[in-house]
Chains A and B, each alone.
Chain A
């Protein structure tokens, strides 16, 4: 029964821009300032003030539009979205309605190794609202207008997504693009990259859209997917029981994993959009667009393809390593010193990311610089240290931030001299006659015990293959002589 329905999902993303000042006034956008410290007569909506548009906001919108192949409107307009709420001092939000700055475009994604893209409806500029802090147990709220007027880009997808996995892939790709462009930090947990999801279901094969619910409070990639999955099942249940889905806004509760109704259509807002008379049309000339086009950085998709083609990385490795601009830069800095891309890819993904994730750190906070990691890999490649030693050196580099060379100078290089290792091998066998007997009786696994003992005696410096060879030769010799 359930598989007779399909989900239709559209996402609205609000990306907070990394400008220094607000969109319509010179107040700082700095996060974490004391309440209302970043305010002025304009963003407090005092009478007689007028908004003046921040040029960087337009640049950011055009750059994102160019990145996703939108049509850049040579002329766009700001509109007033009217509603009353205490975090909105003017009684309207300045947004764009009929003439947004970007139309169309598409976000490229990789899903199960297949390259696809999801169409965009539009991208527009708007101002953020303030913050309300609800006082527990008191019938009042505190209003902080620091965020009022912080610039946002709203990115609206077409309702072309069919599953939470597609929604997740779309979001991840879009976040990569704004991060690579340097226009937004993409932090979902801190709310600088926010997502609302419009979800409806319909019988497979139907062309008409079902009634949608708008999901809010989705503050992580995982919660976006959980909320969508829950909502799809809920709506199918309603239909299977002969009910009708109500158009409404629903809040996702991360602790229960469920969505619950926030307001239904009866109370839905009538925003009465109209062109803002305080702001004239925004016109963008060709020269400006061209100069922005020329200054575009390499974007995640292009870098992904280059990593596969130029470095021979697997699709999976290329995907992980282009996830953030910083990680891709780190990888390339390593490869410029250590010319074995696959080895760099393995060490970065397994050892480095493993270590960083454990401490919940980003690549920018890595105690091991790209140059230090690459030089360590050079020592490994040339046999100065063994693979096992490399892990020890790595741990010490991570703990101290030191380069590899001083650590290797202290602990010594790999022992690859058979004449030097042979006496240690013999001594270990002599000291453990019981285990030697077991081995000779056919218990091959004991060899691991001997390797361990020799490694301990050489402080891990012995070349493991050589130790293995020497052990087998010596044990074979002893077998003959018994």
Chain B
């Protein structure tokens, strides 16, 4: 098992990027879990896929496109209704720029 592929520093960096707060005693178990997952996925790398086109979807091969037409959907009142705080038709969030 590729136990050392992800170290503790990387676990902390990934947690920060995902905005997850990990307690100090959670970091090592998380490292073990992620390394186990990577080892499991590594199984797939044992297959030789040289010359095999990546399959992106089972049914269609190209992304469908739509015409450039406006379709109004008035859902904003309901969406705002689910927000913790609303002002002047806008969502209110804590200030993010210093």
Interface residues of A (CB under 8 A from B): 19-21, 26-28, 34-37, 39-41, 44, 46, 52-58, 78, 82, 84-86, 132-135, 138-145, 270, 272, 279-283
Contact = CB atoms under 8 A, between A and B. Distances in A.
B44 interface: no
A282 B63 contact: yes
Given A141-B95, A143-B91, A84 B19 contact: yes
B71 A26 contact: yes
Nearest to A60: B68
B9 interface: no
Interface in B41-98: 56-57, 60-73, 75-76, 79-80, 85, 87-97
29 contacts: A21-B71, A26-B66, A27-B73, A35-B89, A36-B91, A39-B76, A40-B75, A41-B73, A46-B79, A53-B64, A53-B65, A54-B66, A56-B67, A84-B19, A85-B96, A86-B91, A86-B93, A132-B96, A134-B95, A140-B95, A141-B94, A141-B95, A141-B97, A142-B90, A142-B91, A144-B90, A281-B61, A281-B63, A283-B61
Interface of B: 13, 17, 19, 56-57, 60-73, 75-76, 79-80, 85, 87-97
A280 B61 CA distance: 7
B61 A21 contact: no
A411 B72 CA distance: 56
Given A132-B96, A139-B94, A142-B92, A40 B73 contact: yes
Given A39-B79, A141-B95, A141-B96, A20 B69 contact: yes
Contact of A55 (B17, B66, B91): B66
Contacts of B85: 140
Contacts of A39: 75-76, 79
A139 B95 contact: yes
B66 A53 contact: yes
Interface of A, secondary structure class, is loop
A53 B67 CA distance: 9
A28 B96 contact: no
Contacts of B89: 34-37
Nearest to A40: B73
A53 B72 CA distance: 17
Contact of A143 (B13, B64, B71, B93): B93
Contacts of B17: 82, 270, 272
A86 B89 CA distance: 16
B75 A280 contact: no
Contacts of A35: 88-90
A279 B72 CA distance: 23
A96 B44 CA distance: 27
A254 B87 CA distance: 31
B64 A52 contact: yes
A82 B17 CA distance: 9
A19 B68 contact: yes
Contacts of B68: 19-21, 54-57
A142 B90 CA distance: 6
Nearest to B83: A143
A54 B65 contact: yes
